[in-house]
Amino acid sequence: MSRLASMLIFLTIALSLLGAGHYYIWVRWIRDLAWQRDMGRILTWLLISLALSIPATFILSRTLPPVHGRGLLLVAYTWMGLAMALPALLACGDLLQWALRATLELSHGAPLDPARRLTLARGVAAGMLLTTGGLAVTGLRNALGQIGVRQVRIPLARLPKELHGFTIAQLSDVHVGPTLRREFVERIVAQTNALDVDLIAITGDLVDGGVERIAPLLAPLAKLRARHGVFFVTGNHEYYSGVEQWLAYLPQLGIRVLHNERVSIGRGESSFDLVGVDDLHGPQFGKGHGPDLEKAMADRDPTRESVLLAHQPKMVFQAEPYDVGLILSGHTHGGQVWPFRWLVLLQQPVLAGLARFARTWLYVSSGTGYWGPPMRLGAPAEITRLVLLSGAESS
């Protein structure tokens, strides 16, 4: 399927869901609550404006100067997050309202009159509104507040004993761009450097925007420090943002890009292979892009331990023939905004955390930043500190 056809299908589905979701919100919060005519019209046009603000943000985020418009984009993207969660919340409200109405009618032995049904609907709507406000505040705080450090210990059977305790800091899905700026990058650099790790791995979706717009925001990354260096593989958003320019720019910050290749980490026999492959979206954006494990693994000594950086968790299935010890991925954001975790699991084998596939460990970061809505619900942001242990049963 061509890139244009894929984009048209995506836009058709996205706009259909957008329209259906906002219609449901209108039915439950405006039509069914029987507002006075003028107030109903005002609320209807407000909802239409909020709906239109969602596609508008994608245009504004690419056209507004990077130093301007952040406040406007934060408001629009916040509504996007709420609009994603609201239909599910309203469905829960419908079930609650049905249960309350059935209980009241059973206790009174007669159907509720229209006035009492309206009072009940308004009470449930008020409860849903308060719940929505609470979720918005919580989601904003989770996304924009302090990032937690997640500690993970992973035993690798072929890791040399001399490298027992080798540490990797994983950053993933930072999405520096429309609403995440230089201050955020400075904060994650300081937190990561404080971990004093052996290696830093950035597993894709670092940016949302072209080099000419975003590069000044990334300048603090040049201060990242690890004894064996900083490594990067592409995510799908690098391909949306001018991948060739980013592949040329990141080395200027001291970041080694692994473009379907591997490097040896350590010295002599006290070492392991670090492998990096392109994102699965790569082939749509030009010849020479896309994951090529055959190239990256060519002539590799199978007795050596290997760690693979691959943006999408489902690369674990392509890696199966290569007997990889550990795969580090991201992409899922841990679902980011409930209830989308369930949709992510339709596409990826793991939502977040550590899982085992035969001999291969797969660790999926829930992401360091966020995409779109500045919100995280049930999916905390993380900087991951991974400790590699020598021996399959180490602890």
DSSP letter (8 states) at residue 29 = I
- pLDDT, mean over the chain: 91
pLDDT > 70? residue 213 = yes
Per the model's pLDDT, the better-predicted residue between 314 and 4 turns out to be: 314
Model pLDDT, residue 317: 96
Question: What are the pLDDT digits (tens) for 112-144?
Answer: 888 988 999 999 999 988 988 898 899 999 998
Residue indicated by tokens 């239409």: 48
pLDDT beyond 80 at 270: yes
The predicted pLDDT at position 286 comes to 75
Q: What are the Cα distances from residue 238, in Å, to 5, 133, 247? A: 20, 33, 9
Tens of pLDDT, residue by residue over 169-195, are 999 999 998 888 899 999 999 999 999
Q: For residue 262, what are the CA distances in angstroms to 217, 290, 390?
A: 29, 15, 21
Please calculate the CA angle 249-253-259 and round it to the nearest 5 degrees. Answer: 55
Confidence label for 378 from pLDDT (cuts 50, 70 and 90): confident
Least confident of 6-10, 212-216, 372-376: 6-10
CA 124 – CA 96 distance, rounded (Å): 8
* CA–CA distance, 9 with 11 (Å, rounded to integer): 6
**Can you tell me the distance from the alpha carbon of 46 to that of 68, in angstroms, rounded to the nearest whole number?**
24
Please work out, in degrees rounded to the nearest 5, the angle formed at the alpha carbon of residue 314 by the alpha carbons of 191 and 257.
Answer: 50
Predicted pLDDT at 226:
98
Mean pLDDT of 108-113: 84
pTM: 0.89
Mean pLDDT of 79-87: 86
288-334 confidence digits (pLDDT tens): 899 999 999 999 999 999 999 999 999 999 999 999 999 999 999 99
- Residue 172's H or E segment, with its range, is none
Q: Is the pLDDT of residue 46 over 90?
A: yes
The whole-angstrom separation of Cα 208 and Cα 293 is 26
What's residue 4's pLDDT? 66
- Which distant-in-sequence residues (6+ apart) come within 8 Å of 18 by Cβ? 51, 54, 55, 83
Q: With 80 as the cut, is the pLDDT of residue 3 above it?
A: no
